């Protein structure tokens, strides 16, 4: 076997190995270099995988040569390769910006361990997507979650400790629920392989155990993806974590959780079970809509920009849930597309905040005054990211909104379409709070602030340009999302 | 030159002015020369395109395809060419005016001003030439965003407040209604391309069509239909050249232009005539005309009065569109041109008065004609053109609109137009009349006219008002082209 055949596992192994190595080398700069190299290698592997999936179809990789369903199978399909691209791409960009930001926010003695934890979190997320084994999902979920708790607790503010603890409690409950759910499925089918599960489940659809397993999984995954009203851990965790961690997690962790939801509900259980026999859409639609509106309203009243964007993230997750709940190819396309698009927006916005935190040591709204003149590039990036969040045409946000509104109208649910647009209007309000603070107030005289270093600006602007590029040329993003959605919904309209 | 290349260049040329302006930021003379030259070049390009393109079989330039089957595309058609021609002609004129105004007023951030101005014109050109509703929507939103820094130019609390209303109303109506209407249209018909005679098949339920029409009209916040008109007076915090070109010509006309496009090319005027809701919208437009006139009468601030006059005049065009007869649509299209020249003259004069005499209130203008005779004369001509009296351009568009209301037999609308003309006299023409004949409040200090560059621009605009009376035919023929 050549190296190329091992790509599905390499994409996970590289960061997993880089983690312990970071601790061994100990020197901050070397640890950063290792992490950077691992992230980019992993990204390269993901690109190669995506090309391979696009060319030859689903890739199945037998771990240790044991054939599934006995051995563990790694399975990369269109959806998987799409999410892998997002996660590794964001990780690679965030790593570039991490050097300066981490040096300023994390004590030097901890830096190497910080990168080790970041690599483990990254490896866990990639693993969840790459694996084709339900129990493996749980294992990788725990790897990434435990590493995330550690990462969040390294924030400068002491409140980082309590928010990490909150997340630990909520996250563990979520993970336990997922484990129980998987256990129930195993009990009924005797298999953990996803394909095998999907094949065997219809026979036992009508048992209470399977239904209970479905419920446990829904709630467990809901906790992980901060589905309203299970989102309480998220704002604090995003606010007090080191800036780089926020950028990384916001753009990847919740996306992977959405992926897990899609995988379990639509692929393993299948759309007939989830939406036909279980009232899944009656949960997702209201939860999505209420999430969008309530979180956007709360975001409007925030004075800490990181927290504002954290609430906005909860609202954006609402859009994805809504898309899945609409239960059509268009709706799921919208959800998958928004998964990609939201990663671009929030990645850009939180990286910009990292740049601001680097210069100002604060990201509260009142400290943003007059920053449009002091840090023109960073602030303009926030403006474009914000416009994308609103869904202004020629940005990626517009494309996702288009599909979600179209999906709602296809089902004749025009009130839902109106509510989606109302969510955009609320976004206008909270985005414009930032714009007014940065551009329409006089700069404060007491602090001398200059533009962020290039190592942060370049990854930031790569994401910003991606926001516009994929808003105009959607061949790749929409094409892949549509393909994946068609598979998940069985091509049903 | 190749028509496709011209199509690409027209929105691009104003954008190219941006780097030119930035490079010459330190040297105001060069910077303004760059703005002026690009303006002239742009007008030349639009005129060339009009001269050589066959509007009955226009070429289409596809810029990108952001959604499968839905492209960003440009394609000239008569109404769009008319709009592009007016906006591109008045841009260099306004730049000329701005040179005098901005310097005499010692405004800050002039480079940002010229950059945002150029970007706004680029967006306007995109709107004018858009081949489908999606393209129009994209440029429509870009225009809102590009004009925002101009509205908040002063950067103080009042500007911030004005900017909030401006952006809030324009963005929210367009996102909540226009976008919804557009996606709905796409879902119903599978196309958003502007097509002569409309895109909806006979089988589409008239109730849905009525809802869609309402969504389109209210979604186009830039058309300033009441109750979504508040952004226009709010935008008056901007420097006067902005109010003159953008809030009397480019932005507001982009609004009514969108309404006309939707009526002609998405619904088709025959369909509009059948829809009862169109009559209600026409009635609402009539109400907007009258109410806005009444508010204008009570506004003492000159720019606010002009803004409400604009709201009222935009109502004319929306009304014409909702009539569902050819005369209404042609009259509406011509009114875009006629009102543009009349209103830009008035704004130029208001700015000139502000710069030269430091007066912003109507009540302070008594006897000003003795100090600023040229400006006041121009103001008189501009107002007469808006009232619709010969020998000024406004006569023709009002004539056609009245004829349109007579064609539909809705005599109440005819009456509205005539009453509105009387109201126009009462709140516009009265200003220059008092300027010449009333006794000045303070002692006159001899002649004190506006800067020469500004006067030149005023002269061009006034000349436009007169020329359009004597040769309206090219515009009439062009507008009639939409039905060929």
- Residue found under tokens 């710069």: B355
pLDDT of residue B451: 79
Residue A143 has pLDDT above 90, yes or no: yes
Residue A492 has pLDDT above 50, yes or no: no
Q: What would the two tokens of residue B39 be?
A: 């303006």
* pLDDT classification of A370: cutoffs 50, 70, 90: confident
Interchain proximity B68–A424, CB inside 8 Å: no
- For A:440-459, CB contacts with B below 8 A are 440
Q: What would the two tokens of residue B182 be?
A: 């557009």
Report yes or no: A383 and A440 within 8 Å, Cβ to Cβ.
no
Give burial (CB, 10 Å; 0-12/13-18/19+) of B445. Answer: exposed
- Sign of the Cα torsion B258, B264, B269, B274 reads negative
Contacts of residue B115, defined as CB under 8 A and 6 or more positions apart, other chains included, come to B18, B21, B22
Tens digits of per-residue pLDDT, A289-333? 999 999 999 999 999 999 999 999 999 999 999 998 888 888 899
Q: What would the two tokens of residue B438 be?
A: 């009333």
pLDDT of residue B195: 87
- Sign of the Cα torsion B196, B199, B203, B209 reads negative
Range list of β-strands (E), B410-466: none
Residue B351 has pLDDT above 90, yes or no: no
pLDDT of residue A350: 93
Q: Across chain A, which distance is largest between two alpha carbons, in Å?
A: 71
pLDDT of residue A491: 52
Interchain proximity B142–A401, CB inside 8 Å: no
Tens digits of per-residue pLDDT, B112-153? 888 888 899 999 999 999 999 999 999 999 999 999 888 888
pLDDT of residue A480: 86
A390, A406, A472 member nearest B187 (Cβ): A406
Query: What are the chain B neighbours of A393 within 8 Å (beta carbons)?
Result: 134, 137-138, 141-142
- Considering only CA atoms, which of B296, B293, B348, B342 is closest in space to residue B315? B293
Residue A65 has pLDDT above 60, yes or no: yes
Residue B157 has pLDDT above 60, yes or no: yes
Interchain proximity B66–A392, CB inside 8 Å: no
- In B, minimum Cα distance to A429 occurs at B168
* pLDDT classification of B178: cutoffs 50, 70, 90: very high
Query: Could you give the C-alpha distances from A4 to A7, A52, B194, in angstroms and in order?
Result: 5, 10, 50
pLDDT of residue B478: 86
Report yes or no: B429 and B387 within 8 Å, Cβ to Cβ.
yes
Contacts of residue B269, defined as CB under 8 A and 6 or more positions apart, other chains included, come to B263, B324, B325, B326, B329
Kindly state the DSSP code that residue B27 receives in the 8-state scheme. -
- The residue-averaged pLDDT of B345-349 equals 89
Kindly state the DSSP code that residue B72 receives in the 8-state scheme. E
Query: A474 CB near a chain B CB, below 8 Å?
Result: yes
Interchain proximity A390–B175, CB inside 8 Å: yes
pLDDT of residue A493: 38
Q: Assign B361 to helix, strand or coil.
A: strand
Query: Could you give the C-alpha distances from A265 to A273, A308, B370, in angstroms and in order?
Result: 8, 30, 81
pLDDT of residue A1: 58
Report yes or no: B245 and B154 within 8 Å, Cβ to Cβ.
no
- In B, minimum Cα distance to A433 occurs at B164
Q: Assign B471 to helix, strand or coil.
A: coil
Residue A105 has pLDDT above 80, yes or no: yes
pLDDT of residue A490: 74
Query: What are the chain B neighbours of A422 within 8 Å (beta carbons)?
Result: 176
Kindly state the DSSP code that residue B238 receives in the 8-state scheme. S
Taking the C-alpha atoms of residue A428 and residue B251, their distance in angstroms, rounded to an integer, is 20
Residue B451 phi/psi, 5-degree rounding, is: -55, 150
- How far B172 CA lies from chain A's nearest CA (Å)? 6
**Which long-range contacts does B389-392 make (Cβ < 8 Å, 24+ apart)?**
B390/B469, B391/B466, B391/B469, B391/B470, B392/B342, B392/B465, B392/B466, B392/B468, B392/B469
Residue B201 has pLDDT above 90, yes or no: no
- In B, minimum Cα distance to A438 occurs at B155
Interchain proximity B168–A410, CB inside 8 Å: no
Taking any CB pair shorter than 8 Å as contact, residues of chain B touching chain A are: 64-68, 72, 134, 137-138, 141-142, 145, 149, 152, 155, 159-160, 163-164, 167-168, 171-172, 175-176, 179-180, 183-184, 186-187
Interchain proximity A409–B184, CB inside 8 Å: yes
Tens digits of per-residue pLDDT, A67-82? 777 788 888 988 999 9
Residue B477 has pLDDT above 80, yes or no: yes
How would you write chain A as a 3-class SS string?
A: CCHHHHHHHHHHHHHHHHHHHHHHHCCHHHHHHHHHHHHHHHHHHHHHHHHHHHHHCCEEEEHHHCCCCCCCEEEECHHHHHHHHHHHHHHHHHHHHHHHHHHHHCCHHHHHHHHHHHHHHHHHHHHHHHECEHHHHHHHHHHHHHHHHHHHHCCCCCHHHHHHHHHHHHHHHHHHHHHHHHHHHHHHHCCCEHHHHHHHHHHHCCCHHHHHHHHHHHHHHHHHCCCCCCCCHHHHHHHHCCHHHHHHHHHHHHHHHHHHHHHHHHHHCCHHHHHHHCCHHHHHHHHHHHHHHHHHHHHHCCCEHHHHHHHHHHHHHHHHHHHHHCCCHHHHHHHHHHHHHHHHHHHHHHHHHHHHHHHHCCCEHHHHCCHHHHCHHHHHHHHHHHHHHHCCCCCHHHHHHHHHHHHHHHCCCHHHHHHHHHHHHHHHHHHHHHHHHHHCCCCCCCCCCCCCCHHHHHHHHHHHHHHHHHHHCCHHHHHHHHHHHHHHCCCCC
H or E element, residue B331: helix B326-357
- In B, minimum Cα distance to A421 occurs at B176
Residues listed for chain A? 493
Query: A471 CB near a chain B CB, below 8 Å?
Result: yes
Residue B132 phi/psi, 5-degree rounding, is: -145, 170
Residue A84 has pLDDT above 90, yes or no: yes
Interchain proximity A474–B163, CB inside 8 Å: no
pLDDT of residue A446: 60
Residue B110 has pLDDT above 90, yes or no: no
Query: What are the chain A neighbours of B66 within 8 Å (beta carbons)?
Result: 394, 398-399, 471-474
pTM: 0.89
Percent of chain A with pLDDT over 70: 98
Taking the C-alpha atoms of residue A274 and residue A410, their distance in angstroms, rounded to an integer, is 20
H or E element, residue B422: helix B411-424
Residue A448 has pLDDT above 80, yes or no: no
Tens digits of per-residue pLDDT, B18-40? 888 888 777 878 888 888 888 89
Report yes or no: A429 and A438 within 8 Å, Cβ to Cβ.
no
Interchain proximity A421–B163, CB inside 8 Å: no
pLDDT of residue B115: 85
Report yes or no: A106 and A242 within 8 Å, Cβ to Cβ.
yes
Taking the C-alpha atoms of residue B231 and residue B228, their distance in angstroms, rounded to an integer, is 7
- The residue-averaged pLDDT of B236-258 equals 85
The Cβ of residue B418 has, within 10 Å, a number of other Cβ atoms equal to 14
Instruction: Say if the ipTM goes beyond 0.95.
Output: no
Percent of chain B with pLDDT over 90: 22
Taking the C-alpha atoms of residue A350 and residue B449, their distance in angstroms, rounded to an integer, is 54
Tens digits of per-residue pLDDT, A160-206? 899 999 999 999 999 999 999 999 999 999 888 888 888 888 888 88
Residue A29 has pLDDT above 70, yes or no: yes
Interface test with A, best of B18, B66, B70, B174 (most A CBs within 10 A): B66
Query: What are the chain B neighbours of A428 within 8 Å (beta carbons)?
Result: 167-168, 171-172, 175
* pLDDT classification of A412: cutoffs 50, 70, 90: confident
CB pairs under 8 A between A and B: 80
pLDDT of residue A16: 92
- The residue-averaged pLDDT of A275-287 equals 82
Interchain proximity A409–B179, CB inside 8 Å: no
- Considering only CA atoms, which of A230, A205, A208 is closest in space to residue A218? A230
Pairing outcome for strands A73-76 and A59-62: antiparallel
Residue B61 has pLDDT above 60, yes or no: yes
Tens digits of per-residue pLDDT, B262-313? 999 999 888 888 888 988 999 999 999 999 999 999 988 888 898 999 999 9
Range list of β-strands (E), B252-314: none
- For A:392-451, CB contacts with B below 8 A are 392-394, 398-399, 401-402, 405-406, 409-410, 414, 417-418, 421-422, 424-425, 428-429, 432, 436, 439-440
Residue A40 has pLDDT above 90, yes or no: yes
- How far A52 CA lies from chain B's nearest CA (Å)? 24
């Amino acid at each position: 076997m050549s190296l190329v055949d091992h790509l599905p596992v390499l994409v996970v192994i590289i960061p997993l190995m880089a983690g312990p190595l970071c601790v061994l080398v100990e020197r901050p700069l070397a640890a950063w270099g290792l992490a950077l190299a691992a992230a980019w290698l992993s990204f390269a592997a993901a690109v190669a995988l995506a090309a391979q999936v696009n060319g030859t179809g689903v890739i199945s990789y037998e771990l240790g040569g044991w054939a599934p369903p006995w051995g563990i199978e790694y399975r990369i399909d269109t959806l998987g390769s799409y999410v892998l691209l997002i996660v590794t791409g964001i990780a690679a960009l965030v790593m570039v910006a991490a050097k300066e930001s981490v040096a300023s926010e994390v004590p030097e003695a901890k830096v190497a361990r910080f990168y080790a934890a970041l690599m483990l979190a990254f490896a866990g997320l990639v693993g969840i997507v790459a694996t084709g084994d339900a129990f493996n999902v749980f294992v990788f979920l725990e790897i990434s979650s435990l590493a995330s708790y550690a990462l969040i607790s390294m924030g400068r503010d002491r409140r980082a400790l309590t928010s990490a603890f909150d997340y630990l409690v909520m996250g563990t409950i979520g993970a336990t629920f997922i484990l129980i759910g998987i256990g129930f499925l195993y009990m009924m089918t005797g298999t953990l392989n996803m394909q095998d599960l999907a094949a065997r489940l219809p026979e036992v659809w009508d048992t209470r155990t399977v239904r209970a397993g479905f419920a446990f999984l829904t709630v467990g995954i809901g906790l992980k993806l901060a589905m309203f009203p299970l989102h309480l851990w998220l704002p604090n965790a995003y606010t007090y974590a080191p800036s780089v961690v926020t950028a990384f997690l916001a753009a990847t962790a919740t996306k992977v959780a959405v992926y897990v939801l899609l995988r379990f509900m639509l692929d393993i259980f299948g759309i007939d079970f989830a939406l036909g026999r279980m009232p899944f859409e009656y949960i997702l639609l209201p939860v999505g809509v209420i999430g969008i509106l309530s979180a956007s309203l709360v975001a409007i009243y925030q004075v800490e920009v990181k927290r504002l964007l954290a609430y906005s993230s909860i609202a954006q997750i609402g859009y994805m849930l809504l898309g899945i709940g609409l239960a059509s190819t268009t709706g799921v396309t919208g959800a998958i597309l928004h998964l990609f698009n939201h990663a671009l927006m929030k990645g850009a916005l939180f990286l910009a905040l990292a740049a601001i935190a680097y210069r100002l040591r604060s990201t509260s709204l009142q400290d943003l005054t007059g920053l449009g003149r002091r840090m023109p590039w960073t602030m303009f990036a926030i403006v474009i990211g914000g416009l994308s969040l609103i869904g202004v045409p020629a940005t990626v946000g517009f494309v996702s909104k288009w599909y979600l509104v179209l999906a709602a109208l296809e089902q004749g649910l025009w009130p839902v379409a109106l509510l989606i647009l109302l969510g955009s209007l609320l976004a206008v309000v909270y985005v414009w709070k930032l714009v007014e603070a940065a551009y329409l107030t006089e700069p404060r005289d007491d602090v001398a602030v200059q533009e962020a270093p290039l190592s942060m600006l370049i990854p930031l602007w790569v994401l910003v340009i991606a926001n516009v590029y994929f808003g105009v040329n959607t061949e790749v993003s929409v094409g892949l999302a549509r393909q994946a959605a068609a598979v998940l919904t069985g091509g049903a309209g | 030159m190749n028509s496709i290349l011209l199509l690409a260049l027209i929105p691009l040329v104003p954008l190219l002015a941006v780097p030119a302006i930035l490079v010459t930021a330190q040297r105001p003379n060069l910077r303004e020369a760059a703005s002026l030259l690009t303006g002239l070049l742009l007008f030349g390009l639009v005129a060339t395109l009009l001269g050589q393109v066959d509007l009955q079989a226009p070429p289409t330039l596809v810029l990108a395809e952001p959604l499968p089957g839905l492209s960003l595309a440009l394609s000239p058609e008569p109404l769009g060419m008319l709009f592009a021609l007016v906006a591109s002609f008045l841009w260099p004129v306004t730049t000329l005016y701005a040179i005098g105004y901005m310097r005499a007023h010692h405004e800050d951030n002039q480079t940002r001003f010229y950059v945002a101005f150029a970007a706004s014109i680029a967006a306007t050109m995109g709107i004018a030439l858009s081949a489908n509703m999606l393209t129009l929507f994209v440029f429509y939103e870009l225009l809102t965003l590009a004009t925002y820094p101009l509205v908040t130019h002063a950067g103080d609390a009042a500007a911030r407040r004005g900017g909030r209303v401006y952006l809030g109303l324009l963005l929210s109506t367009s996102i909540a209604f226009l976008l919804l209407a557009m996606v709905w249209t796409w879902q119903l018909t599978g196309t958003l391309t502007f097509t002569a005679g409309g895109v909806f098949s006979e089988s589409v339920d008239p109730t849905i069509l009525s809802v869609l029409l309402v969504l389109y009209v209210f979604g186009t916040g830039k058309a300033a239909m009441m109750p979504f008109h508040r952004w226009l007076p709010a935008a008056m915090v901007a420097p006067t050249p902005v109010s003159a070109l953008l809030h009397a010509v480019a932005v507001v006309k982009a609004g009514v232009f969108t309404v006309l496009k939707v009526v002609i090319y998405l619904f088709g005027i025959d369909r509009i005539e059948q829809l009862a809701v169109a009559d209600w919208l026409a009635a609402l437009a009539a109400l907007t005309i009258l109410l806005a006139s009444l508010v204008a009468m009570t506004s003492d601030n000159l720019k606010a009065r002009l803004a409400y006059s604009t709201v009222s005049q935009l109502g004319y065009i929306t009304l014409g569109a909702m009539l569902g007869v050819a005369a209404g649509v042609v009259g509406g299209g011509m009114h875009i041109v006629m009102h543009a020249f009349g209103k830009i003259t008035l704004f130029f004069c208001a700015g000139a008065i502000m710069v030269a005499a430091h007066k912003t209130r109507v009540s302070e203008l008594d006897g000003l004609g003795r100090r600023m005779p040229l400006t006041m004369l121009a103001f008189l001509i501009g107002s007469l053109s808006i009232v619709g009296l010969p020998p000024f351009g406004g006569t023709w568009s009002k004539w056609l609109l009245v004829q349109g209301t007579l064609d539909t037999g809705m005599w109440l609308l005819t009456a509205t137009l005539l009453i509105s003309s009387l109201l126009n006299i009462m709140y516009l023409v009265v200003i220059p009349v008092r300027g010449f004949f009333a006794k000045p409040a303070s002692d006159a200090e001899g002649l004190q006219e506006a800067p020469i560059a500004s006067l030149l621009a005023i002269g061009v605009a006034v000349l436009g008002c007169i020329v359009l009376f004597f040769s309206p035919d090219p515009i009439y023929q062009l507008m009639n082209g939409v039905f060929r």
